[in-house]
């Protein structure tokens, strides 16, 4: 008999039926034991079909290779919910010989029995969660398969798994961003190494001076709302520091604007302004240099909420100055943040 998809499905259906009818599975109390048990049942059922079955290693995806090119991933829970964390979106451990459909067999412990279900892998990928790296959330209770992550995006699993890691990340980040509610942001690693977010958290005040300066310059450019009077103007920056640098600060505002007012001379006229403008003045050259090296893509990502129009290489600086002037529009004597910036550039020459 052949290893056709029809026969593969018949084997899985019969295996799941046998598991559901078994009354004495009390000894199977964890995922490893359940996987071993399912692999043995699959082998028994597949033998009359002449279908080869291989149980893979613990670090491979999927857990079982059947018929040479199909896969079966095994999940187990003692919870009432038919949910489990799935594989990494990058699927770095995917066995290369698995070129066809992957299925899920999900077991839920219920006293001495294990209730089992199976589905196509992509039909139960309900969302994306982040542990040490972005992973699919498997939900066997999904009633409408069209609401699965990949169906919502409009891509088949077969096409998705052939994408590069960078392409997978970009596709799913766009999806997750489209689902964000107001006040939410994307907690996501940009690294495609599979190593995930650095688990070590650093306190801002423990950074080296050059690290603090780099963060200061980035803040001025990527989070111009820090020039505004909004009570939540440092929230985006705080999240950015945690995501990008694993840095936290209990007094982030103080690092930018503590110390009261200072006097800055602009066009030969002294003005009393907040401490943040002194930092803008003193770091104007570094800001200009940093901005010249930031990509249009990155600026579009961070400045999209400001409606600055089309950003091009030749107008990046003008766009940024327009944003900070709009946000910091309450300075005395019709003074604008961009004028303080320009005055700082003159002083550096």
Residues 111-128 have pLDDT tens digits of 899 999 999 999 999 888
Task: With beta carbons less than 8 A apart as the criterion, state whether 35 and 75 touch.
Answer: no
What per-residue confidence (pLDDT) applies to 130? Answer: 62
* Signed CA dihedral, 77, 79, 81, 83: sign only: negative
The pair phi, psi for residue 180, each rounded to 5°, is -70, 140
State mean pLDDT over 245-273. 83
CA pair distance 223, 333, nearest whole angstrom: 25
Instruction: Indicate whether 205 pLDDT > 80.
Output: yes
Instruction: Indicate whether 36 pLDDT > 90.
Output: yes
Q: What six digits make up the tokens of 94?
A: 């995917």
Alpha carbon of 67 to those of 6, 120, 259: distances in Å? 11, 16, 71
- Binned at pLDDT 50, 70 and 90, residue 34 comes out as very high
Q: What six digits make up the tokens of 109?
A: 């412990």
Residue ranges of the chain assigned to CATH 3.40.600.10: 5-178
| Pair type for strands 53-55 and 64-66 | antiparallel
What per-residue confidence (pLDDT) applies to 75? Answer: 93
* Of 66, 5, 70, the residue nearest 38 (C-alpha): 66
Q: Which has more pLDDT, 260 or 326?
A: 326
Least confident of 59-73, 90-104, 185-199, 223-237: 185-199
Instruction: Indicate whether 97 pLDDT > 70.
Output: yes
CA pair distance 79, 85, nearest whole angstrom: 13
CA pair distance 60, 74, nearest whole angstrom: 12
State mean pLDDT over 216-223. 94
* Of 277, 259, 262, the residue nearest 342 (C-alpha): 277
Task: With beta carbons less than 8 A apart as the criterion, state whether 105 and 76 touch.
Answer: no
What per-residue confidence (pLDDT) applies to 184? Answer: 60
3-class state of residue 314 by DSSP: helix
What per-residue confidence (pLDDT) applies to 179? Answer: 76
Instruction: Indicate whether 58 pLDDT > 90.
Output: no
Chain centre distance of CA 102:
24
Q: What six digits make up the tokens of 57?
A: 């290693």
Average pLDDT, the chain: 85
Alpha carbon of 267 to those of 146, 318, 321, 331, 346: distances in Å? 62, 20, 18, 15, 11
State mean pLDDT over 105-111. 92
Render pLDDT for 63-92 as a digit per residue (tens, 0 to 9).
Answer: 999 999 999 999 998 888 898 888 777 777
CA pair distance 102, 90, nearest whole angstrom: 15
Q: Which has more pLDDT, 194 or 212?
A: 212
Least confident of 16-20, 92-96, 186-190, 245-249: 186-190
Least confident of 99-113, 172-186, 278-292: 172-186
Beta bridge partners of 168: none
What per-residue confidence (pLDDT) applies to 329? Answer: 66
CA pair distance 263, 253, nearest whole angstrom: 20
What per-residue confidence (pLDDT) applies to 133? Answer: 60
CA pair distance 263, 122, nearest whole angstrom: 62
Give percent of the chain above pLDDT 90: 40
Q: Which has more pLDDT, 17 or 185?
A: 17
Q: What six digits make up the tokens of 334?
A: 């019709």
The pair phi, psi for residue 187, each rounded to 5°, is -90, 100
Is-cis flag, bond preceding 62, omega within 30?
yes
Specify the pTM: 0.57
- Binned at pLDDT 50, 70 and 90, residue 191 comes out as very low
Out of 35-49, 219-233, 294-308, 332-346, give the one with best mean pLDDT: 35-49
Render pLDDT for 138-162 as a digit per residue (tens, 0 to 9).
Answer: 999 987 777 888 888 888 888 888 8
What per-residue confidence (pLDDT) applies to 259? Answer: 67
Architecture of domain 5-178: 3-Layer(aba) Sandwich (3.40)
- What is the 8-class DSSP label of residue 81? S
CA pair distance 51, 1, nearest whole angstrom: 8
CA pair distance 341, 210, nearest whole angstrom: 21
Instruction: Indicate whether 194 pLDDT > 80.
Output: no
| Pair type for strands 134-139 and 125-130 | antiparallel
Instruction: Indicate whether 180 pLDDT > 80.
Output: no
């Amino acid at each position: 008999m052949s290893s056709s998809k029809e026969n593969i499905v018949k084997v899985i259906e019969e295996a799941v039926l046998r598991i559901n009818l078994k009354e004495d599975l009390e000894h199977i109390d964890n995922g490893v034991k359940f996987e071993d048990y399912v692999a043995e049942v699959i082998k028994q059922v597949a033998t009359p079909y002449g279908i080869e079955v291989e149980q893979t290693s613990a670090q491979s995806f999927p857990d079982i290779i059947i018929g040479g090119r199909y896969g079966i991933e095994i999940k187990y829970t003692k919870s009432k919910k038919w949910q489990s964390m799935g594989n990494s979106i990058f699927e770095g451990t995917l066995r290369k010989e698995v070129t066809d459909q992957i299925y899920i067999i999900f077991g839920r412990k219920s006293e001495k029995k294990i209730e089992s279900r199976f589905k196509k892998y992509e039909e139960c990928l309900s969302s994306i969660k982040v542990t040490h790296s972005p992973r699919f959330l498997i939900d066997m209770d999904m009633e409408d398969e069209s609401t699965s992550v990949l169906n919502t995006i409009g891509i088949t699993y077969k096409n998705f798994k052939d994408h590069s890691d960078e392409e997978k990340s970009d596709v799913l980040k766009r999806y997750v961003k489209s689902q964000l509610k107001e006040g939410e942001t994307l907690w996501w690693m940009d690294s495609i190494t599979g190593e995930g977010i650095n688990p070590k958290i650093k306190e801002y005040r423990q950074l080296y001076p050059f690290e603090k300066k780099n963060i200061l310059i980035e803040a001025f450019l990527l989070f111009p709302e820090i020039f505004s009077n909004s009570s939540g103007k440092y929230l985006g920056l705080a999240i950015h520091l945690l995501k990008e640098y694993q840095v936290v600060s209990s007094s982030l505002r103080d690092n930018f604007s503590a110390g009261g007012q200072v006097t800055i001379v602009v066009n030969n006229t002294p003005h009393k302004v907040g401490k943040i403008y002194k930092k803008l003045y003193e770091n104007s050259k570094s800001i200009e240099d940093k901005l010249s090296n930031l990509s249009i893509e990155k600026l579009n990502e961070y400045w999209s909420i400001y409606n600055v129009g089309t950003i091009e290489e030749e107008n990046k600086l003008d766009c940024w100055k327009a944003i900070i002037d709009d946000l910091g529009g309450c300075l005395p004597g019709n003074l604008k943040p961009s004028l303080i910036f320009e005055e700082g550039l003159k002083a550096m020459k």
